[in-house]
Amino acid sequence: MKIMQCPLNGPRNISEFVYGGQVEPMPDPQQCSDKDWASYVFYDNNAIGIVREWWQHAPSSYWFIAERHNASDDILRTYDPGELFSERVDFTTGENEP
Amino acid sequence: MTSNLVSPLRCLTSNDDDRSGSLKLRDLSLATRSGVRGVHASQWLKSESLPHELQPNTIEALPDHRLLMALSTREFWLLDPDNPSGDTEPTFERTKPGVWPLYNQNSHAWLVLSGEPRADMLAKLCGVDLRSKAFPLGTVAQTQMALVSTIIAHHLWRGEPVFSLFIDQSLTDFAWEALQDAMAEFNTTR
């Protein structure tokens, strides 16, 4: 069984984790094009190397960030997203748009 | 066709035999529990004169025999194992922005496992080392048991070390059956 280090809960079986996509800067959903938003939501950079990814420890619903080599599948580091994000991201609804 | 399923909500014990060391599984789903979550949850606990500096994944007994469990720096559960729940409303209500009540009275079943071989038995169902050396009294593990997300807390109840197991209500029948199956090996007469 592959083991992943959860920053909150410690080492756990990989079956307890859910992949959440690559960590990328979010474009402004009110200003960017549909193509840019679709690229952000649906597409990943698939080049071989170390990638920074969102993962969730499902039993505790805890989201964190992992750095993983996508060829060897070695998990190099996991850490709390507070290291990268200091503020909650809130969304405007865009209700006034036509 | 007869069913061997046992409802976890009927407050049944797995075995009426009081042999020392035998495993017992009790259903405390009707006991009172509530919780809060949010960026200001810790400060709110302080305002309620409750311990507010618990480390994540720890559980602490309060002087009034309730238990306070910290699941993260922002989520805390207050457990009252000897007090039946009187209603479905959470004890904690939203008091200010950044603190929200948790409806864990309704979301999670509460089972209590006692008996000396409890860690050995759970090793059949859970990948976390729950032996006292690695998982002492006062610690909590959020993990999977029989592939079901489970919060396991190691604490004293009525003077006896026990594991409290918190499981999604909808999966409790399955978890109960899996536990009974795993326990059968340890509760046979040799």
Domain ranges, ordered by start, for chain B: 23-184
Nearest Cα residue in chain B from A59: B149
pLDDT in tens, B76-103: 999 999 988 875 555 566 567 788 889 8
Query: Least CB-CB distance to A59: which of B56, B72, B144?
Result: B144
User: Would an 8 Å CB–CB cutoff place A18 in contact with chain B?
Assistant: no
Query: Least CB-CB distance to A8: which of B56, B149, B151?
Result: B56
* Residues 55-84 (A) with a CB less than 8 A from some CB of B: 57-60, 62
SS3 B156: strand
| Rounded Cα distance, A81 and A8, in Å | 11
The helix/strand count (H/E) of chain A reads as: 1, 6
Inter-chain CB proximity A9 and B141 less than 8 Å: yes
Q: Is the pLDDT of residue B53 over 50?
A: yes
> What's the pLDDT at A88?
76
Distances in whole angstroms, Cα of residue B132 to Cα of each of B55, B97, B127, B177, B188: 19, 39, 15, 25, 23
CB atoms within 10 A of CB B52: 16
User: Would an 8 Å CB–CB cutoff place A14 in contact with chain B?
Assistant: no
Q: Does domain A3-43+51-83 have CATH number 1.10.760.10?
A: no
Inter-chain CB proximity B57 and A16 less than 8 Å: no
User: Would an 8 Å CB–CB cutoff place A87 in contact with chain B?
Assistant: no
Distances in whole angstroms, Cα of residue A47 to Cα of each of A22, A23, A50, A69, A74: 12, 14, 9, 10, 15
Looking at CA atoms only, how far is residue B124 from chain A in angstroms?
15
Q: Is the pLDDT of residue B11 over 50?
A: no
Alpha carbon of residue B186 to chain centroid: 21
> What's the pLDDT at A80?
95
Looking at CA atoms only, how far is residue A8 from chain B in angstroms?
7
SS3 B144: strand
Which residues from chain A sit within 8 angstroms of residue B72, using beta carbons? Answer: 8, 60, 62
> What's the pLDDT at A77?
97
Q: Does domain B23-184 have CATH number 3.70.10.10?
A: no
> What's the pLDDT at A97?
53
Which residues from chain B sit within 8 angstroms of residue A1, using beta carbons? Answer: 127
| Rounded Cα distance, B116 and B131, in Å | 10
Alpha carbon of residue A69 to chain centroid: 15
Band (pLDDT 50/70/90 cuts) for residue B8 is very low
- More confident position, B141 or A93: B141
> What's the pLDDT at A93?
66
Inter-chain CB proximity B144 and A13 less than 8 Å: yes
pLDDT in tens, chain A (98 residues): 799 999 999 999 999 999 999 999 889 888 999 999 999 999 988 899 999 999 999 999 999 999 999 999 999 999 999 999 888 777 776 655 55
Band (pLDDT 50/70/90 cuts) for residue B71 is very high
Reported ipTM: 0.81
